[in-house]
């Protein structure tokens, strides 16, 4: 049974984009195929919560080979999307004192609970657990049509 969602996904206004892809990647160094976030729709500093989304497109690089005839968004890209959300939150929380690149140092407690297919919007929610000068940690949950399809804890370290 999935854990309780950090926020009620049905209450997120996905049309109210507070940071578009250009804004997101003015902070994050990822480019081209590895730009996994299409928009940020919530950033709640007081509760250490962030929400963003990725629209899976039929023309994405992974569709052709994963899996022909039944394309499924790779789990490793769900993890990457979650990691970029945690990095975005951490950079915003430490904006005055940090810049640079945050790399993975750990991925824990990952569970894939469903699939993401072309045409789906993957809504990713992050709850920051730690945000220290050398590392950060965020619990993440991913949803498609209100159903949890992913969960995991991402730890990042400043490089």
- For residue 140, being part of any structural domain is answered with yes
Q: Which pLDDT value is given to residue 100?
A: 66
How confident is the model at residue 97, as a pLDDT? Answer: 63
Does 4 fall in a domain? no
- Establish if 2 belongs to a structural domain: no
- 151 in Cβ contact with 78 (< 8 Å): no
Whether residue 142 is contained in a domain is answered as yes
pTM confidence score:
0.95
Range of the domain at 68: 9-158
Per-10-residue mean pLDDT for the chain, 159 residues long?
A: 95 97 93 96 96 97 95 98 96 72 91 98 98 92 98 94
Residue 115 lies in a domain: yes
Q: What's the pLDDT score for residue 92? A: 87
Look at residue 96 in the predicted model and tell me its pLDDT: 59
| H helices present in the chain, as ranges | 21-27, 75-93
CA atoms within 13 A on the CB side of 11: 4
The number of domains in the chain is 1
Among 30, 32, 54, 66, the active-site one is 66
| Per-residue confidence (pLDDT) for residue 101, from 0 to 100 | 76
The distance in angstroms from the start CA to the end CA of the chain is 36
CATH code, domain with 79 = 3.10.129.10
Which strands make up the sheet holding 19-20, listed edge to edge? 19-20, 39-44, 49-55, 121-131, 135-144, 147-158, 102-112
Position 3 in a domain: no
* pLDDT for the residue 98: 63
Residue 100 counted as domain residue: yes
Residue 73: what pLDDT? Answer: 98
Q: What is the DSSP string of 129-156?
A: EEE-SSEEEEEEEEEETTEEEEEEEEEE
* Total count of residues recorded for the chain: 159
The encoded tokens of residue 6 equal 């950090």
**CA–CA distance, 52 with 20 (Å, rounded to integer):** 10
Contacts of 16 (CB under 8 A, 6+ apart): 41
In a domain, 152, yes or no: yes
25: three-class secondary structure by DSSP:
helix
Does 30 qualify as catalytic in the annotation?
Answer: no
């Amino acid at each position: 049974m999935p854990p309780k969602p950090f926020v009620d996904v049905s209450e997120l206004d996905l049309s109210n984009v507070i940071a578009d892809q250009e804004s997101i990647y003015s902070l994050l160094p990822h480019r081209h195929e590895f730009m996994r976030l299409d928009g940020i729709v919530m950033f709640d500093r007081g509760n250490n919560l962030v929400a963003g989304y990725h629209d899976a497109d039929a023309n994405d690089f992974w569709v052709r080979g994963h899996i022909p005839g039944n394309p499924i968004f790779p789990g490793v890209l769900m993890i990457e999307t979650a990691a970029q959300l945690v990095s975005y939150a951490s950079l915003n929380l430490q904006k005055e004192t940090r810049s640079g690149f945050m790399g993975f140092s750990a991925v824990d407690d990952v569970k894939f609970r469903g699939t993401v297919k072309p045409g789906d919007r993957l809504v990713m929610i992050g709850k920051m657990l730690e945000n220290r000068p050398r590392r950060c940690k965020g619990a993440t949950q991913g949803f498609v049509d209100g159903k949890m399809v992913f969960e995991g804890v991402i730890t990042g370290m400043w490089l």
